[in-house]
């Protein structure tokens, strides 16, 4: 909450708009009906105290080699003889 620059009463924020990603312009109006001053302020990010944790990169996993299709001996013979 901001205070009126003239009478020092509290002022309500009426609207705001972003000037850039880190700067916002805000319009205020004094709550003192005898004053009713309207003014604007500029709000900006000056320093990041604590940044969110960054996700750890996943270890690179080599893709599994494709198994070759088995063709020899795929079908058993029903005419096998036992010795």
Residues in contact with 12: Cβ distance below 8 Å, sequence separation at least 6, in sequence order: 1, 28, 29, 31
Asked if the model's pLDDT at residue 16 lies above 80, the reply is yes
Q: How large a percentage of the chain has pLDDT more than 90?
A: 63
Distances, alpha carbon 70 to alpha carbons 73, 74, 75, in Å: 8, 7, 10
pLDDT at 34: 96
User: Which tens digits make up the pLDDT trace of 56-79?
Assistant: 888 777 777 777 766 666 566 555
pTM, to two decimals:
0.59
């Amino acid at each position: 909450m901001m205070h009126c620059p003239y009478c020092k009463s509290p002022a309500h924020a009426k609207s705001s708009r972003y000037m850039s990603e880190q700067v916002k312009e805000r319009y205020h109006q004094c709550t003192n009906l005898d004053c009713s001053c309207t003014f604007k302020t500029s709000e900006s990010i000056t320093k990041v105290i604590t940044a969110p944790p960054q996700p750890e990169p996943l270890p690179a996993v080599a893709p599994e080699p494709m198994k070759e299709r088995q063709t020899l001996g795929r079908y058993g013979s029903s005419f096998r003889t036992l010795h």
